[in-house]
Structure 1
Amino acid sequence: MRSGDEMKPALKWLAAAGVLALPLSAHALLATCTVATTGIVFPAYASPGSTNSDSTGDIAVTCSALVLGLGSYTISVSTGAGTYANRKLTSGANFLNYNMFTDAARSIVWGDGTASTQTVSDSYVILVAPTTRHYTSYGRVPGSQNKPAGTYTDTVTVTVTY
């Protein structure tokens, strides 16, 4: 064999390794992420109860790629019927203030990064097979709200940007 023939396979391997080492954002068309949620279901609220009503939900992000690489994404949550300061669970014309948080202490409002809110970001090696990560959403209905009985609901939009 000639020495030039021996180097060709090595060069091809190095070129392929260079493609695989690029961040996934450079291969955005090669990645797929989906989101699934389990909503926050609060226990019965005693109006005008003096205690907070807390519960949790789940946001599951599943990503896969056509090539191995580093993946990253950001999860944001809309305001729903209210604002980031006071999201609203509604029942007809009535509402209960509540909010969603990124932490168990319920001190960091989960939003879109504006109005003193934060998003949740993650990065890790994405495999060809789907990889799922779970994120807990912490909800709280503050106590001392004098509201009539009813079924109170809200819908927020979870957005995963990758």
Structure 2
Amino acid sequence: MKYLLSLSILALPLSAHALLATCTVSATGITFPAYTSPGGATADSTGDIAVTCTATLVIGTGSYTIALNAGSGTFVNRTLKSGANALTYNVYTDSARSIVWGDGTGVTQTESDSYLILLTPTTRHYTPYGRIPAAQNKPAGTYTDTLTVTITY
């Protein structure tokens, strides 16, 4: 059996305002390759989170933190769902897929960055690394989950 798998990363139409800058966030979800069950191999894929900041008053330095919620599961076992069926997966901050991207609680870490705020927009991209562990025995279907991106600065 093969699955169509997709993870949406929801970047709310968010504009955060600070004294020095306005920042917006956009995201491209993770689309996993087809997963074969039973006994499918590990499935890896990536997405993109883009943060764009523009100075509103003066040029200076700033920083922000990017957090992801747990979606429909927990940070230990996020779940892609198809009706009542679920595949476990997770999202990581690193290509080795060893650091769970979350809200900074428990085993999770957030992404943080500092930048020079300019009068012209500056965009930085961050890669969420997704992984579905091997050998999950689930029926065929379209499995999805939605994560929310939160930018704090």
TM-score for both structures, normalised by structure 2:
0.86
- 1:31 pairs with 2:21: yes
**Partner AA of 1:132 in structure 2:** T
Q: If each structure's helix is expressed as a fraction of its own residues, which one has the higher value?
A: 1
Query: What runs of 5+ residues in structure 2 fail to find an aligned partner?
Result: 1-16
Structure 2 equivalent of residue 19 of structure 1? none
Q: 2:70 aligns with which of 79, 87, 101?
A: 79
d(CA) in 2 for partners of 1:101, 1:32: 27
Q: Identity across aligned pairs (percent)? A: 72
d(CA) in 2 for partners of 1:83, 1:126: 35
Relative contact order higher in (CA < 8 Å, ≥ 6 apart): 2
Deviation at 1:65, TM superposition (A): 1.2
Q: 1:94 aligns with which of 65, 85, 95?
A: 85
TM-score for both structures, normalised by structure 1:
0.82
d(CA) in 2 for partners of 1:130, 1:52: 38
Q: If each structure's strand is expressed as a fraction of its own residues, which one has the higher value?
A: 2
CA contact 2:35–2:41 (8 Å) conserved in 1: no
Alpha-carbon deviations, 1:54-84, whole Å to 9, x = none? 0000000001112101010000000000000
- The total of aligned residue pairs comes to 136
| Bigger Rg, structure 1 or 2 | 1
- 1:64 pairs with 2:54: yes
Residues 2-151 of structure 1 mapped to structure 2, 5 A cutoff: 28-66=18-56, 67-151=58-142
Deviation at 1:123, TM superposition (A): 0.1
Deviation at 1:143, TM superposition (A): 0.6
